[in-house]
Amino acid sequence: MPATRRNFTLGGAAALLSACGGGGAARFASPAPVRREDTLPSVPNAGWDAWVAAFKGRAATQGISPAVVEQAFRGAGFLPGVIERDRNQTEFKRSLEEYLSIAASDERVAKGRANYAAQRATLARIEDRYGVEGHVVTAVWGLESFYGERRGNISVVSAVSTLAYEGRRGAFFEKQLIAALKILQNGDTTPANLKGSWAGAMGHTQFIPTSYELFAVDFTGDGRRDIWSDDPTDSLASTAAYLAKSGWQRSQPWGGQSGTPGANIAGRPLQPEPGGPTFTVGRNFDAIKRYNNSDSYAIGVGHLSDRILGGGPITGPFPPDRFGMRKDDRIALQQRLTAAGFDTRGADGVIGGNTRAAITAWQTRNGLPVTGEPSLELLRRLL
């Protein structure tokens, strides 16, 4: 993955975004109520304190004024929860079928269409300047922050300084910290507003600080490249600028499932999974991968952008997952667990934390080995 991006994670759903206000002016999404997982407490740490003291000298050599550094660290602290998340990122890779069930869920598609309509005039102006279609920019917005509802509420200075101090990717995160301080020095935002994810990704389309340095733009003309505002304009324009500089070709499809109109391009075949659907992808697919270097992510953005315009779902066949189950099996399992009193909080065929908790509770109740894992045998037992 390019050093200017972070790994893709999908946020949860929250309140619906407003559509259009009176006179056609777009209303902007206010942040959803802060979830417990969006806040990480700081704790005293003498090692981090010593590291920050030494870092301040290095920051000065990078052109950061002492006043900016002092202001930035005034409310910052060591976040052990950031290190825990960094060290315990799951190794499990979702199948493409599961991934697309999340990336282009009915809710995400519906919100995407509503937000595309609400921002149509702004997106048209962005497309005129950067040549990136509005439905594509909207799809990135949807995958990165659920259309602004999950922008992150963690101090970027605290998060990236903690990771720089911890050292596993110290040089990378020190670069992010320097870039974050430059954001403050340039006056684009304030230390109180410089918030993001646990790894320092910020705003509606989740730029890490070095990506912000390279690609963020002031599209509103207010003198600040403000990707943190409830108004998503600068974020959407910055995403279009990123894709444009990554080789996006206007009026060309990203690709599509083989046999569909989107696949009628001079591209190359791609089959992400043996036994799964085949796609034909082109240069715009590669431009999306510059944003996040993952085939599944690029297919997810492209497919969601097609759905926003009214396109239909990707058809199979998809191979069984690592448990030997197909989507219909996973949906049936969720339905039967819920009917038995072990609520999976939906039956979408995606095995997530709620489904695993329900399986664990069912196994415990029935005196079976507790694995929390789905299986065809478990499905048979629930008949």
- What pLDDT, on the 0 to 100 scale, is given for residue 94? 84
* Domain membership flag for residue 30: no
* 364 lies in the same domain as 315: no
Measuring CA to CA, how many Å separate 257 from each of 271, 326, 372? 10, 20, 34
* 293 lies in the same domain as 356: no
In this prediction, residue 120 has a pLDDT band, given cuts at 50, 70 and 90, of: very high
Q: How many domains does the chain have?
A: 2
- Check: CB of residue 159 under 8 Å from CB of residue 199: yes
Spatial separation of the C-alpha atoms in residues 87 and 180, rounded to whole Å: 23
* 128 lies in the same domain as 154: yes
Last residue of a domain, one of 267, 290, 319: 319
Q: Could you tell me where the DSSP H helices lie in 155-261?
A: 156-166, 170-185, 209-215, 233-245
* 256 lies in the same domain as 356: no
Q: Under DSSP, is residue 281 helix (H, G, I), strand (E, B) or coil?
A: strand
- What pLDDT, on the 0 to 100 scale, is given for residue 38? 62
* 334 lies in the same domain as 232: no
Q: Under DSSP, is residue 196 helix (H, G, I), strand (E, B) or coil?
A: strand
* Domain membership flag for residue 25: no
- Check: CB of residue 278 under 8 Å from CB of residue 258: yes
Measuring CA to CA, how many Å separate 327 from each of 38, 78, 107, 148? 30, 42, 18, 29
Instruction: Tell me what percent of the residues of the chain surpass a pLDDT of 90.
Output: 84
Q: Which domain holds residue 288?
A: 1-12+43-319
- What pLDDT, on the 0 to 100 scale, is given for residue 131? 98
Q: Is the dihedral of CA 147, 40, 210, 246 positive or negative?
A: negative
* Domain membership flag for residue 276: yes
Pairing mode of beta strands 154-155, 268-270: unpaired
Q: Under DSSP, is residue 377 helix (H, G, I), strand (E, B) or coil?
A: helix
Question: What is the CATH number for 87?
Answer: 1.10.530.10
Spatial separation of the C-alpha atoms in residues 215 and 2, rounded to whole Å: 14
In this prediction, residue 324 has a pLDDT band, given cuts at 50, 70 and 90, of: very high
- What pLDDT, on the 0 to 100 scale, is given for residue 33? 39
* Domain membership flag for residue 194: yes
Higher pLDDT, 89 or 107: 107
Tokens at 209, concatenated: 């600080």
Q: Could you tell me where the DSSP H helices lie in the chain?
A: 46-61, 66-73, 80-87, 96-103, 106-118, 120-130, 134-145, 156-166, 170-185, 209-215, 233-245, 283-291, 295-308, 327-339, 353-365, 376-381
* 260 lies in the same domain as 300: yes
Lowest mean pLDDT among 161-165, 167-171, 305-309: 167-171
Q: Kindly state the average pLDDT of the residues 285-311.
A: 97
Residue 7 has pLDDT above 50, yes or no: no
- What pLDDT, on the 0 to 100 scale, is given for residue 338? 98
Lowest mean pLDDT among 1-10, 191-200, 294-303: 1-10
pLDDT, averaged across the chain? 90
* Domain membership flag for residue 28: no
* 79 lies in the same domain as 141: yes
* Domain membership flag for residue 70: yes
* 352 lies in the same domain as 227: no
* Domain membership flag for residue 37: no
